[in-house]
Amino acid sequence: MATALADKNIPFEVHVYEKGPHGLSLATQATAQAKSQIYQDASRWIVEAEAWLEKRFALELPEVTPWELMGQGRE
């Protein structure tokens, strides 16, 4: 999959974790049915995915809202 994306110049990241089966969900106690489904390294996937999505699709926001500008006397 990574090779196919690279061949088409499509942005991607690949994270391969040394331990943990597929389908762990968050790999934390929040989603585990047993301790055997908790993997600290693999649990970072959701944070890494969020960071990648934000980097690729973040909205451009102003530094402050118009409301904040009014309060600062910069109307």
- Report the number of distinct structural domains present in the chain: 1
Which of 2, 10, 3, 14 minimizes the C-alpha distance to 56?
10
pLDDT at 75 exceeding the cut of 80: no
pLDDT at 12 exceeding the cut of 80: yes
pTM higher than 0.85: no
Whether 50 contacts 38, CB under 8 Å: no
Distance between CA atoms of residues 63 and 75, nearest Å: 15
- The pLDDT tens digits for 13-60 are 999 988 888 889 999 999 999 999 999 999 999 999 999 999 999 999
Radius of gyration of the chain, Cα coordinates, nearest whole angstrom: 20
Q: Given this model, what pLDDT does residue 34 score?
A: 95
Owning domain of residue 7: 2-71
> Where does the pLDDT of residue 74 fall: very low under 50, low under 70, confident under 90, or very high at 90 and above?
low
